[in-house]
Amino acid sequence: MTRCGGGVIVSGMEWEFSTFGKNLCEGSGIGELMDDLGQALARGGEMRMLGGGQPAHVPEMEAVWRRRMEEIMASEGGLEKMLGNYDVPAGNEAFRQALADLFRKEFGWDLSHENFAVTMGGQTAFFFLFNALAGSFPDGRRKKILLPLLPEYIGYANQAVGEDFFEALPAKVEKIGPHQFKYRVDFDALDPGDEIAAICVSRPTNPSGNVLTDGEVEKLRVLAKKRGIPLIIDNAYGAPFPSVIFSEVEPVWDEDMILTLSLSKLGLPGTRTGIVMGSKEVCRAVASMTSIVGLANGNVGTEITRPLIESGEILRLSREVVKPFYQKRSAQAQAWLESSFGDRFPYFVHRSEGALFLWIWFEGLPIPTKELYQRLKMRGVLIVPGEYFFFGLAEGTDWKHTRECIRMTYTMEPAVVEEAIEIIAEEVERAFQESPSA
């Protein structure tokens, strides 16, 4: 089988891809990222993997997962039920009711199990939500998803079943220290038109680790409500779990909003368990899509975590184990950046407010970060070039910033991160020294 311009050639015959097929079958930034991640993990120590969203193996959390698996194994019929039964398309009802009870107790939200739907990971949740809300309509209209703070998550970019799917607003860039900066929503430029189907943000933001303030979230919520569209908040790293968020925030929800959560960053990426929280109508729609696309969701993640949600232990673990672990790793990686980079070249690190990454801006970098990515890969270091995170910009936009940033994760073993940072420093310095203006 070989690829052709718009499909594949099999046994000498050309099978043409549809528009849907071209969007999903011909490669993407997220696909390249996951391929690199898988290959690096398979090679063991040969590659310093600072590119993917692989969570760390946190010993205390792994002990919890082992304990829960032992409890399931010891319970009569527990393993057989978990592995041998289909759940309903919306996900295990006891799991969803446990979430409703927890959030009602913690935040006073009026919820039932019908306000939740389980998906095969957060990525699947966004595929469902984006394509249900935006795209082509029977009367010929086209609607888009508005991203009010670009750069935004690489995994959204190729989700569309169609073209011209996103409208994105460049963030305001604010330098807040000698080597630190922060993105802020440009509310003066934010004016959703009739073609906008929903507003979507990740909090903390992947890639930058930016956390929208409670005030920014409230402004977006009010604006979305005024325009009669949902505000979607991607909580894959955020509150109330896994709480990889280093600033104080107040979780907010009402039935005009859609929140998504995930078990991945708690330490269960292999279970592929995402959670959509919204109105009963939204969750019924998500369940319907699950039944069509995959019949049902996996049972393992919901069964492992259900008792932790029922008891509230999931919140304690998030606050006392997960958050401090990553906050310490982030601080250490930033110290290594400062030590290795020094004054060798211009750089700014986005204020680390959450998520598993540091977002580094090399102001004036003379080569695109896609080229820097290739140079680093040759030296056994994987990062993610920033270009992939800037999508949905108006045609003709030339924002040099999009070619000057990289995302690196700090979740690998500390010695690996420290070594990789020094190699990054060497390659960036070389790029500046090779520049004719140097």
If you search the block for the tokens 């005009």, which residue do you land on? 256
pLDDT of residue 395: 81
Q: What is the CATH number of domain 63-314?
A: 3.40.640.10
pLDDT of residue 9: 61
In the structure, how many helices (H) and strands (E) does the chain have? 13, 19
pLDDT of residue 33: 58
Radius of gyration of the chain (CA): 22
Residues 138-168 as b/e (b if ≥16 CB within 10 A, e otherwise) read: eeeeebbbbbbbbbbbbbbbbbbbeeebbbb
Give the side-chain half-sphere CA count within 13 A for 38: 8
Question: From first to last of its 438 residues, what are the pLDDT tens digits of the chain?
Answer: 455 556 656 555 677 766 666 666 665 555 665 666 566 555 555 788 998 888 999 999 999 999 999 999 999 988 889 899 999 999 999 999 999 999 999 999 999 999 999 999 999 999 999 999 998 888 888 999 999 999 999 999 888 877 789 999 999 999 999 999 999 999 999 999 999 999 999 999 999 999 999 999 999 999 999 999 999 999 999 989 999 999 888 888 999 999 999 999 999 999 999 999 999 999 999 999 999 998 999 999 999 999 999 999 999 999 999 999 999 999 999 999 999 999 999 999 999 999 999 999 999 999 999 999 999 999 999 999 999 999 998 887 889 999 999 999 999 999 999 999 999 999 999 999 987 765
List beta partners, residue 385.
406
pLDDT of residue 138: 87
Give which of 322, 349, 181, 351 is closest to 263, Cα–Cα. Answer: 322
Element (H, E) at 240: none
pLDDT of residue 416: 94
Q: What is the CATH number of domain 27-58+317-434?
A: 3.90.1150.10
Question: Distance between CA atoms of 371 and 388, rounded to whole angstroms?
Answer: 13
Which amino acid would we find at residue 215?
Answer: G
pLDDT of residue 204: 95
Asked if 48 and 423 touch (Cβ cutoff 8 Å), the reply is yes
Question: Distance between CA atoms of 357 and 236, rounded to whole angstroms?
Answer: 13
Give which of 104, 99, 58 is closest to 267, Cα–Cα. Answer: 58
pLDDT of residue 207: 95
Domain boundaries, the chain: 27-58+317-434, 63-314
Question: Distance between CA atoms of 150 and 399, rounded to whole angstroms?
Answer: 11
If you search the block for the tokens 């009026």, which residue do you land on? 110
If you search the block for the tokens 């039944």, which residue do you land on? 291
- In sequence order, the 6+-apart residues with CB closer than 8 A to the CB of 108 are none
By 3-state DSSP, what share of the chain in percent is helix, strand and coil, each rounded to 5? 45, 20, 35
pLDDT of residue 435: 74
pLDDT of residue 227: 95
3-state secondary structure (DSSP) of residue 348: strand
Asked if 408 and 391 touch (Cβ cutoff 8 Å), the reply is no
Phi, psi for residue 93 in degrees, rounded to 5: -65, -40
List beta partners, residue 352.
none
Other residues' Cβ atoms within 10 Å of the Cβ of residue 39: 13
Q: What is the sign of the dihedral through the CA atoms of 374, 377, 381 and 384? A: positive
Q: Which DSSP string corresponds to 366-406?
A: SS-HHHHHHHHHHTTEE-EEGGGG--SPPTT---GGGGSEE
Whether the predicted model's global pTM rises above the 0.85 cut: yes
Question: Distance between CA atoms of 347 and 106, rounded to whole angstroms?
Answer: 41
If you search the block for the tokens 């052709």, which residue do you land on? 4
